[in-house]
Structure 1
Amino acid sequence: MVVKSKGIPLATLLLILFLSAIFPTSFSNQVLNSKKPIPSSSASSLGSSVAFQIKGNVYPLGYYTVSLAIGNPPKVYDLDIDTGSDLTWVQCDAPCKGCTLPRNRLYKPHGDLVKCVDPLCAAIQSAPNHHCAGPNEQCDYEVEYADQGSSLGVLLRDNIPLKFTNGSLARPMLAFGCGYDQTHHGQNPPPSTAGVLGLGNGRTSILSQLHSLGLIRNVVGHCLSGRGGGFLFFGDQLIPPSGVVWTPLLQSSSAQHYKTGPADLFFDRKTTSVKGLELIFDSGSSYTYFNSQAHKALVNLIANDLRGKPLSRATGDPSLPICWKGPKPFKSLHDVTSNFKPLLLSFTKSKNSPLQLPPEAYLIVTKHGNVCLGILDGTEIGLGNTNIIGGEKISNTNKF
């Protein structure tokens, strides 16, 4: 989904970058299956966490999802995870356009409508667009995405049951969108999901609402495995005690984005001409995007390094813009990664804050048996000078 609109400033945010780009599977299982004693007193889980299993992959699906239960009795919905936007919405069982899901997978509105005068409505309808004709008017929303997709609907509240890692249970009433008019104009077909789980830090995000209720600390983290899937967590209990470093987030013109930098690119542990990159971390973007200048420099570095190796450009593979073929089709990344060098992003304002990108983190083997570069030219698709770290096998956590 790349870059979204609306939100609040990120001046106080911090970003944790895991030194390893891929967590061991055993750690993921430990997080999802952790069992702690149920507290004997209050149901408040501040200091605990909520963990979700992530499904999906960068290729061939191109998106990651989690299952979220909504309502009483609860019904489970698969949602596309997106750190680049705030609002969570589900496909509404109402007269609509763009309703592509079977009727039994739509959300039937029976929760409380959010009124136009509610502060959450003002947060999603940023001035000067926020205007209420009366105190009982419903709160309509419209969110637009950089791939020219959008969702239009109404804001409401309903129970969202959650089980915390300390064993406690809660059924908070949280606000989200009931979307009845969805559009999609991206290059790929829309995900076969019921909506979007917005993980930005704006006031309307579920993360912020849980924090305002005193249920968690304002921390969101996700780890995406190179084999597909992974896990997502809210709260700070699951942050590893070692192997992580902190780097501050930057102010962003689209303020809900997790933006950090500047960062310099290293190729095979050597400095390059790519310096001072400001980066947005966006799980809603399947791939990583560099601006044209940085992307061209990276492609030249890789191409020069591949000279004399048994690889040549695979111009006939439509999967991604830049691909290579070998003497015979590749079956997995294991067959080809020895031909490529590791990348590293070094954050110049933070000591010892490298984001390591081994070949497994930026390459993809396609169904045609070729290996392709998963870092794309963002300028070509209208991102200008924006640089985005997408969902490719990257682990990151945000605290604010």
Structure 2
Amino acid sequence: MNFITTLFFCVLPLFYAPFQGCYSAATPPGDHTSSVVLPVTGNVYPTGYYHATLSIGNPPKSYFLDIDTGSDLTWLQCDAPCTKCTPAPHKPYKPNKELVECMDPLCESVHWPETHQCQSPKEQCDYTVQYADDGSSIGVLVKDSFSLQYINGTVAKSILAFGCGYNQEVPASMNPPYTDGILGLGLGKASILHQLRELGVTRSVVGHCLSAKGGGYLFFGDQLVPSSGVVWTPMSTTEIEKHYSLGTAELFLGGKTTRMKGLPIVFDSGSTYTYFSGEAYKALYSMLMNDMKGKKVYITNEDKSLPVCWKGSKPFKSIYDVKNLFEPIILKFKKSKFQLNPESYLIISKNGNACFGILNGSEVGLENINVIGDISFQDKIIIYDNEKQQIGWTPANCNRLPNMDDDDDDDGDGEPDSASLCKPYGSNLGILPPYCTAN
């Protein structure tokens, strides 16, 4: 879980010879109104995260980055050399010759809210990032080329700043191999999303569609935002700084209130599960247990996947074997609601038990903050629109890209037509099997 990131400024010795020279100018970015789309791989269980594949460097190399809207800093494991690098899908990134200097505003953003001090203007920008799940990265900010493909197939090469992480810790609960790093998509200036907007590559809009079957897609820009059917809620700028906060909500189980009101809600794709604050979690758990009485499922301690699991008379094969026994969980905001159907808060473990994918956030130091994670995002498009300061969601088939032009859906079945998909998406960007074949 990557929510509530804490970054510390620390003066570290220069870990290799100083960078020299200048990097060549980036390929001119494309139309500001264009969107970039990236394939996504992963699942809530058993992997525990979703990652995007990014091409970085010159020549470009592929890296798997954990998608994290709960933090700003993007970083890669980096051979600078490595003090401690963890098992990962690819060899550590070899840094190029451009450092971010200590006086750079991006460096100041990385160290917010700590006091940012530089011994000299040309000093490197060191960082330490600590996550709530005890993961961490220590490194230095560098710049290099990112190759990003627009939905029309063209590629923009942009010089972006990110962390060159040479000392990493991972949570004890995770199993290797891990991702190559973190893709930070939060609200700070160091975020890749903010940098792309400043360069004119895309608008400051990011969305993800995570499939419950595994996989999905991530996009920057607003071309893949559905034209209708999206429930929008204003971003809260007062609740929780630099995180995607939706303000406060009241918590319901089915049609019954838990009497928990004024709960600060944050969306965080870096969190595998959903976390409610201690009091809200206990109220929900109590109501849920009462609701399950007489339904022929039983609490079991044989499964260590999650703290609370139920078993039936025989192992459950899928969530559809058990979902009709559970009520939806609803978060009601002032003008909208976010509904978690049973498939948005339960997993079926390898033992065939139904396990509760909502955890007590107070036990991991989240205090009164309530974090909505990947389990509750599955099979929905979630849109973080920083241009309009709003967050939206709508059910979606995340196993395939949406049609950009709803008018091309001539058969009225709500599914994209092959001819229209062939035109805007071409090779389908390698995300899924092609929608169309050559005539």
Letter matched to residue 368 of structure 1: N
**Residues 57-76 of structure 1: matches in 2 within 5 Å?**
57-76=43-62
Q: 1:153 maps to which residue?
A: 139
Q: Kindly tell me: are residues 371 and 301 of structure 1, through their superposed partners in 2, closer, same or farther at Cα, counting changes over 3 Å? A: same
CA deviation string 1:218-273 (max 9, x = no partner): 10111112212211111111100111122112235752210113112222233332
Q: 1:206 maps to which residue?
A: 192
Runs (5+) with no aligned partner, structure 2: 8-27, 387-439
Runs (5+) with no aligned partner, structure 1: 8-41
For CA contacts below 8 A with separation 6 or more, give which structure has more relative contact order: 1
Letter matched to residue 316 of structure 1: E
* 1:175 partner SS: strand
Displacement of 1:95 after TM fit?
2.6
Determine the C-alpha separation between the residues in 1 that align with 2:88 and 2:268. 29
* % identity of equivalent residues: 53
RMSD: 1.9
Displacement of 1:132 after TM fit?
2.1
Picking from 236, 245, 263, the partner of 1:277 is 263
Q: 1:377 maps to which residue?
A: 360
* 1:93 partner SS: coil
Displacement of 1:192 after TM fit?
1.4
Picking from 35, 52, 65, the partner of 1:79 is 65
Letter matched to residue 66 of structure 1: A
Determine the C-alpha separation between the residues in 2 that align with 1:375 and 1:86. 24
Aligned positions, number: 363
Q: 1:14 maps to which residue?
A: none
Determine the C-alpha separation between the residues in 1 that align with 2:376 and 2:113. 37
Q: Kindly tell me: are residues 288 and 128 of structure 1, through their superposed partners in 2, closer, same or farther at Cα, counting changes over 3 Å? A: closer
Q: 1:389 maps to which residue?
A: 372
Displacement of 1:186 after TM fit?
4.6
| Alignment of 1:216 onto 2:202 | yes
CA deviation string 1:94-116 (max 9, x = no partner): 23233123695210011411111
Q: 1:13 maps to which residue?
A: none
Q: 2:4 maps to which residue?
A: 4
Q: 1:33 maps to which residue?
A: none
Q: Kindly tell me: are residues 369 and 103 of structure 1, through their superposed partners in 2, closer, same or farther at Cα, counting changes over 3 Å? A: closer
Q: 1:34 maps to which residue?
A: none
Determine the C-alpha separation between the residues in 2 that align with 1:393 and 1:73. 38
Q: Kindly tell me: are residues 376 and 127 of structure 1, through their superposed partners in 2, closer, same or farther at Cα, counting changes over 3 Å? A: closer
Displacement of 1:154 after TM fit?
1.0
Contact 2:274 2:376 in 1 (8 A): no
Displacement of 1:167 after TM fit?
3.6
CA deviation string 1:40-92 (max 9, x = no partner): xx853211111111111111111111100001110000011111110100000
* 2:280 partner SS: helix
Picking from 312, 316, 331, the partner of 1:330 is 316
* 2:86 partner SS: coil
Contact 1:157 1:174 in 2 (8 A): yes
Q: 2:151 maps to which residue?
A: 165
CA deviation string 1:272-326 (max 9, x = no partner): 3222211111111100001121111111222112111110101221111111000
Letter matched to residue 360 of structure 1: E
* 1:392 partner SS: helix
Q: Kindly tell me: are residues 46 and 244 of structure 1, through their superposed partners in 2, closer, same or farther at Cα, counting changes over 3 Å? A: same
| Alignment of 1:239 onto 2:222 | no
